[in-house]
Amino acid sequence: MGTGIMGDLVSDGAGSGDRCNHDDDMRLTLKDAGYTGPIDGVDRNSAMTDIAKSKNVYTNVWNTDIGHDKISFLDDETYDHAVATGCLGRGHIPFTAIPTLIRTIKKGGYLVFTLAWHHLRFEETTVEALENYCRTWDREGLCHLVSCVQAPHSSSGDCHVFVLQRGSKHKPETV
């Protein structure tokens, strides 16, 4: 049985590829659901990317900071979809960097990411703050919020799973 997910994926905040790493759980979940395509990884921690490289977890893996600036070695619209699990929030990748992630995926592609409950305590990382950003990005034609659901995360609490789609519900994208 397939997922209906086809094409190339990039994992932002990819980590080391250890089984306990949330992103590796996402990778294994996709593969268990029938996804067989390539998955590239990007993470700012060089120790993590070195481990991931040694394990051949990803097709390609790069060490770089994901912020407001374009990722120099990734062209816009390189990937069909992107995932970012356990790496958005205070002290990690800020919400304001989401446009950088979105631009790496093709129009109509999806960014799926998680936000752990403990990040929701901070004013800049609430669900409401993200929804406000999404409304702005939709007006700008960049992306729109498809869904936000609460899901089990760990023994210490739940997380929210967000799905953003590149392109606006309201107007064509102008990049």
Contacts of 130 (CB under 8 A, 6+ apart): 95, 115, 145, 148, 162
Q: Which two tokens stand for residue 137?
A: 């990005």
User: What distance in Å separates the CA atoms of residue 77 and residue 72, rounded to the nearest whole number?
Assistant: 13
User: What distance in Å separates the CA atoms of residue 9 and residue 85, rounded to the nearest whole number?
Assistant: 13
Give the pLDDT of residue 109: 93
User: What distance in Å separates the CA atoms of residue 103 and residue 86, rounded to the nearest whole number?
Assistant: 20
Contacts of 32 (CB under 8 A, 6+ apart): none
Residue for token pair 């990007």:
42
Per-residue pLDDT for the chain (175 aa), expressed as one digit of tens each?
Answer: 344 556 788 888 888 766 444 555 566 666 666 777 888 888 888 998 898 888 887 888 888 877 767 777 788 999 999 988 878 777 778 888 899 999 999 999 999 988 877 666 666 667 788 889 999 999 999 999 999 888 877 666 788 888 999 998 776 555 5
Burial 151-168 (b: 16+ CB within 10 A, else e): eebeeeeebbbbebbbbb
Fold of 9-166: Rossmann fold (3.40.50)
pTM to 2 decimal places: 0.82
Where do the domains of the chain lie?
Answer: 9-166
- Chain center to CA of 60: 16
